[in-house]
């Protein structure tokens, strides 16, 4: 197939584009041209590159037409964040026979009530990001159900992998948390520490997108949550991270008020966004319809990301990894 990947050099595209090339597909990589993939692969030499500033072209009303002109069998949209942007692309692709595979987010679901969360049973989203992702997914499903463009939406968890800092044990991107755990220092954990996070390896997300493209008949009109098969609690993640350095974790539960007093607004806000949702997702639907087989547990996912940080001197730690 001829496959266009929008946002091709980001977290998912870094792994998806080489996968598609190895699968025998003709790939057109669309990006702003301001970054390179997180990991180099020889398959990128076989990819056609298109440079596009989506935000500007959306404002000009030209982006959808440009993508439609590429004549793709499938378009994988990894960087769409508003209903208006999604609608413009749908309108341009409608009637072309193209399959649009959209990247949503697990944050289309709100705070957990029943675990695991499934595609048919989740609470309403909160926060602009989650609300927009949910609205896009609903619009796309209605488009397909009503006989319009063929669409599929995948909702990844907290994407981690080599090349960038993973969401850490406190639900934020503060590297000092891992630094302290590597030295067996006490860390303050907001709440009970039983709150959960739904990580997923970028290569597993890429696997799911490849499957959705290649198994179009099974994927069209559907939504899928894509996460690791396991999930980590805040305190469990802390103990796991400390063990990578041969240390014991020393988590100390504190109130959210206390945590906000001692943590920067940026990191405290991120912690609340992740931990207050306390989500765990079922991937059974993706397994059943797409054949999704995650290669990484949540534990291996975050270790793979942290190992890269340590090996590339991007993370200050008290001692070497022992795993």
* Averaged pLDDT score across all residues of the chain: 97
pLDDT of the residue at 87? 98
Q: With a threshold of 0.85, does the pTM exceed it? A: yes
pLDDT of the residue at 38? 85
Same-domain check for residues 47 and 184: no
CA–CA gap between residue 137 and residue 120 (Å, rounded): 13
CA–CA gap between residue 172 and residue 186 (Å, rounded): 17
The CATH code of the domain that includes 258 is: 3.90.25
Virtual CA dihedral for 102, 108, 224, 266, nearest 10 degrees?
80
pLDDT of the residue at 184? 97
CA–CA gap between residue 113 and residue 43 (Å, rounded): 43
Same-domain check for residues 184 and 121: no
Residue 272 forms part of a structural domain: yes
Same-domain check for residues 211 and 185: no
Distance from the Cα of residue 10 to its chain's centroid? 10
Same-domain check for residues 258 and 210: no
Same-domain check for residues 154 and 25: yes
Dihedral sign computed on CA atoms, order 273, 276, 277, 279 = positive
In SS3 terms, the chain reads as CEEEEECCCCHHHHHHHHHHHHCCCEEEEEECCCCCCCCCCHHHHHCEEEECCHHHHHHHCCHHHHHHCCCCCEEEECCCCCHHHHHHHHHHHCCCCCEEEEECCHHHCCCCCCCCEECCECCCCCCHHHHHHHHHHHHHHHHHHCCCCEEEEEEECEEECCCCCCCCCCCCCCHHHHHHHHCCCEEEEECCCCCEECEEEHHHHHHHHHHHHHCHHHHCCCEEEECCCCCEEHHHHHHHHHHCCCCCCEEEEECHHHHHHHCCHHHHHHHHHHHCCCCCECCHHHHHHHCCCCCCCHHHHHHHHHHHHHHCCCCCCCCCCCC
Rounded to a whole number of angstroms, the CA Rg of the chain reads 20
Residue 317 forms part of a structural domain: no
CA–CA gap between residue 314 and residue 151 (Å, rounded): 39
* 268-299 as b/e: b if 16+ CB within 10 A: bebbbbbbbbbbbbbbebbeebbebebebbbb
Same-domain check for residues 151 and 236: no
Same-domain check for residues 108 and 191: no
Same-domain check for residues 79 and 218: yes
Tens digit of pLDDT at every position of the chain (323 positions) = 999 999 999 999 999 999 999 999 999 999 988 778 888 899 999 999 999 999 999 999 999 999 999 999 999 999 999 999 999 999 999 999 999 999 999 999 999 999 999 999 999 999 999 999 999 999 999 999 999 999 999 999 999 999 999 999 999 999 999 999 999 999 999 999 999 999 999 999 999 999 999 999 999 999 999 999 999 999 999 999 999 999 999 999 999 999 999 999 999 999 999 999 999 999 999 999 999 999 999 999 999 999 999 999 999 999 999 99
pLDDT digits (tens, 9 = 90+) for 208-247: 999 999 999 999 999 999 999 999 999 999 999 999 999 9
Residue 256 forms part of a structural domain: yes
Same-domain check for residues 190 and 112: no
Q: What angle do CA 205, 13, 133 make, to 5 degrees?
A: 65
Residue 207 forms part of a structural domain: yes
Same-domain check for residues 105 and 178: no
The CATH code of the domain that includes 219 is: 3.40.50.720
Find the domain containing 101 and state its range.
2-159+199-226
Same-domain check for residues 52 and 154: yes
Residue 242 forms part of a structural domain: yes
Residue 77 forms part of a structural domain: yes
Give the β-pairing of 196-197 and 232-233.
antiparallel
Give the residue from 101, 121, 145 showing the smallest Cα distance to 284: 121
Same-domain check for residues 193 and 203: no
pLDDT of the residue at 37? 87
- Could you give the number of structural domains in the chain? 2
Q: Tokens 């022992």 — which residue?
A: 322
């Amino acid at each position: 197939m001829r496959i266009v990947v929008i946002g091709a050099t980001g977290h998912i595209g870094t792994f998806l584009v080489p996968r598609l090339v190895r699968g025998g597909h003709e790939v057109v990589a669309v990006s702003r041209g301001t970054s390179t993939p997180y990991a180099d692969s020889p398959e990128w030499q076989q990819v056609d590159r298109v440079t596009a500033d989506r935000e500007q072209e959306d404002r000009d009303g030209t982006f959808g037409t440009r993508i439609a002109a590429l004549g793709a069998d499938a378009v994988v949209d990894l960087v769409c964040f508003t209903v208006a942007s999604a609608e413009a692309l749908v309108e341009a692709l409608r009637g072309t026979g193209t399959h649009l595979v959209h990247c949503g987010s697990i944050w289309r679901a709100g705070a957990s009530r029943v675990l695991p969360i499934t595609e048919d049973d989740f609470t309403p989203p909160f926060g602009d990001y989650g609300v927009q992702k949910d609205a896009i997914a609903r619009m796309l499903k209605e488009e397909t159900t009503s006989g319009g463009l063929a669409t599929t939406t995948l909702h990844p968890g907290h994407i981690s992998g080599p090349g960038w800092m993973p969401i850490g044990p406190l639900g934020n991107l503060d590297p000092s948390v891992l630094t302290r755990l590597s030295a067996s220092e006490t860390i303050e954990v907001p709440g009970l520490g039983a709150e959960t996070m739904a990580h997923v390896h970028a290569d597993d997300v890429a696997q799911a997108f490849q499957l959705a493209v290649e198994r179009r008949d099974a994927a069209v009109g559907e939504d899928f949550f894509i996460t690791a098969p396991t999930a980590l609690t805040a305190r469990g993640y802390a103990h796991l991270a400390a063990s990578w350095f041969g240390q014991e974790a020393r988590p100390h539960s504190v109130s959210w008020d206390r945590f906000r007093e001692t943590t920067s607004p940026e990191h405290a806000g991120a912690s609340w966004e992740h931990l207050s949702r306390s989500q765990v997702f079922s991937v059974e639907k993706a397994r059943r319809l797409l054949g999704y087989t995650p290669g990484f547990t949540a534990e291996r996912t975050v270790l793979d990301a942290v190992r890269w940080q340590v090996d590339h001197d991007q993370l200050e730690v008290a001692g070497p990894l022992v795993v």
